[in-house]
Amino acid sequence: MSVEKIIGNWKKKNFKAVYWLEGEEDYYIDQVINYAEHNILMEAEAEFNLTIFYGRDADWTSVINACRRYPMFAERQVVVLKEAQHMKDIDKLESYIATPLATTILVVGYKAKGVDKRTKLYKILQTNAEVLTTKKIAEGKMQEWIIELAKNKGFTILPKSASLLEEHTGNDLSRIANEIDKLAINLTNKTVIDDDDIEKYIGISKEYNVFELQAAVAKKNLAKCIKIINYFEANPKAAAIQMVLPALYAYFSKIYAVYGMNDKSDNALKPLFYFNPISLSQAKDAMKNYGYAGIEKLLLLLHHYDLKSKGVGDNGTNGALLMKEMVVKIML
């Protein structure tokens, strides 16, 4: 079951008695819970028929008692249990889920890997509840997800702009969605999101970011590397070393993998670099400037300085200084 199907059914007034939302991606769970909280009932109905519990504070008896009440002046009531993974004795909900009240819609947000499949609760959920299991976006799929989200909101976001947004937010889908919403509010006269928009409305420099550093490293442009790192040092929120080094490592690891490919044509390499011509061009620059041994050395240095940034073999050297030292060694 997907988020779209659950909410689509709700819009058609097609309800099940119990919805169990679990998994490691909070964004999708929050989407369903937010809709249940604000859209299933009319405002006047919600005053008497919407009950919200939080796992840390709720006890199972209160949740069941709320679920077994009958709605007032409405066809149904909604009971929402948020952060259910923190609730003690949650397995005690088994008795209600086994025989739920038809006029109650119970929506449970369980932000964890999921209920143990060996338990009785799991078996009851499989037969008596609509279960949504969410997963983290796979590595390398985030840019694609951002582009699709923008498309759903009526915008086209350029690949590099999507990469900038990913760099800024990491894999936090809720934060990405908020930033896209911010752009949608501000971009009233255009439908294409570019680097200028990212810089103006989100505050990510289009000139000084991890992708420009990546390009400078690929081209062995030490002066530009130092200039970008100086910007990072002057703007600590722009790009912390713990964010920059993994991003560089992920990119140059793909270049390293190219050496093991039989087909090194542009058509063969495009999927590896997300069909981004700029990224592919940079990769070819790096291969030309470093060669196999140079890329291998680069990756080892990135790993070494990632450990140093975390305090392994280092007494707290400033992140910018570590990055400057690293790029000098890379280009020696």
pLDDT digits (tens, 9 = 90+) for 154-213: 999 988 888 888 877 777 899 899 999 999 999 988 999 999 999 899 888 888 998 899
Listed residues 202, 222, 238: the one ending a domain:
202
Say whether both 62 and 84 belong to one domain.
Answer: yes
pLDDT digits (tens, 9 = 90+) for 223-281: 999 999 999 999 887 888 988 999 899 899 999 999 999 999 989 998 888 777 888 88
What's the CATH number where 162 sits?
A: 1.10.8.60
Stretch 306-329: mean pLDDT: 93
What's the CATH number where 31 sits?
A: 3.40.50.300
Stretch 291-302: mean pLDDT: 96
Q: Tell me the residue range of the domain where 38 lies.
A: 3-134
Instruction: Please state, in angstroms and as integers, the Cα–Cα distance from residue 3 to each residue in 10, 39, 113, 174, 331, following that order.
Output: 11, 15, 17, 15, 48
Say whether both 118 and 218 belong to one domain.
Answer: no
34 three-state secondary structure: helix
- Residue 107, pLDDT score: 98
pLDDT(313) > 80? yes
What's the CATH number where 287 sits?
A: 1.20.272.10
77-82: strand order across its sheet: 50-54, 77-82, 104-110, 18-23, 130-134
Say whether both 181 and 262 belong to one domain.
Answer: no
Q: Are 25 and 173 a contacting pair, CB within 8 Å? A: yes
Say whether both 122 and 30 belong to one domain.
Answer: yes
- Residue labelled with tokens 């800024």: 168
Say whether both 181 and 302 belong to one domain.
Answer: no
Say whether both 116 and 168 belong to one domain.
Answer: no
Say whether both 214 and 196 belong to one domain.
Answer: no
Stretch 8-23: mean pLDDT: 96
What residue type is assigned to position 330 of the chain?
Answer: I
Listed residues 87, 114, 134: the one ending a domain:
134
Say whether both 89 and 31 belong to one domain.
Answer: yes
pLDDT(1) > 90? no
- Residue 117, pLDDT score: 86
Q: How far apart are CA 186 and CA 194, in angstroms?
A: 13
pLDDT digits (tens, 9 = 90+) for 64-104: 999 999 999 999 999 999 999 999 999 999 999 999 999 99
**pTM (predicted TM-score):** 0.72
Say whether both 147 and 118 belong to one domain.
Answer: no
Say whether both 288 and 165 belong to one domain.
Answer: no
pLDDT digits (tens, 9 = 90+) for 123-142: 999 999 999 999 888 767 88
The residues near 98 (Cβ < 8 Å, ≥ 6 apart) are 124, 128
Say whether both 89 and 177 belong to one domain.
Answer: no
Query: How many domains is the chain built from?
Result: 3
Give me the sign of the Cα torsion angle 46, 124, 129, 81. Answer: positive
Task: Give the DSSP letter string of 178-191.
Answer: HHHHHHHHH-SS-S
Say whether both 43 and 71 belong to one domain.
Answer: yes
Listed residues 91, 106, 134: the one ending a domain:
134
